[in-house]
Amino acid sequence: MNFPSSAFGWNAPLRFNGQHPKPRGAHTRARASGAQGALEALNSKPLLKSAVVCAALGCVGDSVAQRREAGTRRAAAAVEAAGSKKKPTAAAPDVAHDFTRTFKQAMYNFFFYGPVQHYWYIELAKRWPARAFALTAESLAPFATKVFLNQALLGPVVVSTFFLWGAVWSNDVKAYPGKLKRDMLPTLRAGWSFWVPASSVNFMCVPTKHQVLYMSACSIVWNVILSLNMNKPAPVVAVAGKKKK
């Protein structure tokens, strides 16, 4: 049986609050216009932009770190199962993504790391100005100074405050001195192996106005390093009981 489309009102114009709805193209243009407006507003506030970008990259870095940890656990379980004489049991399901951990890292980046980077690179550029791709003897001193200060000052500040942030967040401030003593130097060493070449490219080749963006993109790797080291479990120390005579 054929029904006329008008019987179901398909041909009737839809109304909302007494007005015709906007065509789909208009909605798409409105969304695009809204997104463009948000980007323009963000670009007009460089400090906020640095904080938002750094927080977003912190989310990416922690997510990569969690996936890496999950892969390490699966590999260890596979090795253990291969060496066991017992029948292999069903593989344990992956641990769900820890969104609280990701949020914790994003908030650190938004409120501290992003703003600190913003002012840090502006100040470095003011005190030791250098043009991108200016590979001359005159540019070597400011270039080397900025790379050194980046690792000798900014690195330790970020690692120590990030560990403190984690300790306060988990309500375990008493463990902070031990965490700092145990994991700060290994974290810095891992960071130096990545940041020295990355900083060299930044100060030598990247224009000043793009340096925060470049270093923020590089900080995905740094965020992975930070996340892995802050969430590294403390070693279990076995306490031997005293033998009774």
pLDDT at 208: 74
Whether the per-residue pLDDT at 7 is higher than 50: the answer is no
| Residue 32 predicted with pLDDT over 80 | no
Is 115 buried (19+), middle (13-18) or exposed (0-12) by CB count in 10 A?
middle
Q: What is the mean pLDDT of residues 143-159?
A: 91
pLDDT at 239: 54
pLDDT-based confidence at 21, cuts 50/70/90?
Answer: low
For residue 245, the model assigns a pLDDT of 46
Provide the pLDDT for residue 85: 60
- Residue (of 153, 106, 131, 100) closest to 206 by Cα position: 131
What pTM does this model have? 0.74
DSSP symbols for 183-227:
HHHHHHHHHHHHHHHHHHHHHHHS-HHHHHHHHHHHHHHHHHHHH
- pLDDT interval class at 44 (50, 70, 90): confident
5 band by pLDDT with thresholds 50, 70 and 90: very low
What distance in Å separates the CA atoms of residue 217 and residue 150, rounded to the nearest whole number? 16
Q: What is the pLDDT of residues 53-103, one digit of tens each?
A: 999 999 999 999 999 999 998 898 888 888 766 555 555 556 799 999 999
Supply the mean pLDDT for the chain: 80
Given a cut of 60, is residue 12 above it in pLDDT? no
Residue in this structure with the two tokens 């965020």, named with its chain if needed = 223
pLDDT confidence band for 34 (50 / 70 / 90): low
- Residue 184 CA to residue 191 CA, distance in Å, equals 10
> d(Cα 195, Cα 212) in Å, to the nearest integer?
14
- Residue 203: pLDDT band with limits 50, 70, 90: confident
- For the stretch 162-191, pLDDT in tens is 999 999 999 999 999 999 999 999 999 999
Whole-number Å distance between alpha carbons of 115 and 65:
23
| Model pLDDT, residue 35 | 63
Instruction: Tell me the average pLDDT across 210-216.
Output: 76
Domains of the chain, by residue range, sit at 45-83+96-230
- C-alpha 14/C-alpha 218 separation (Å) is 50
What is the predicted pLDDT for the residue at 170? Answer: 92
| Strands in 122-205 per DSSP E | none
Under 8 Å CB-to-CB from 145, ≥6 apart: which residues? 128
Q: Determine the average pLDDT of the residues in 101-113.
A: 96
Is pLDDT larger for residue 153 or for residue 141?
Answer: 153
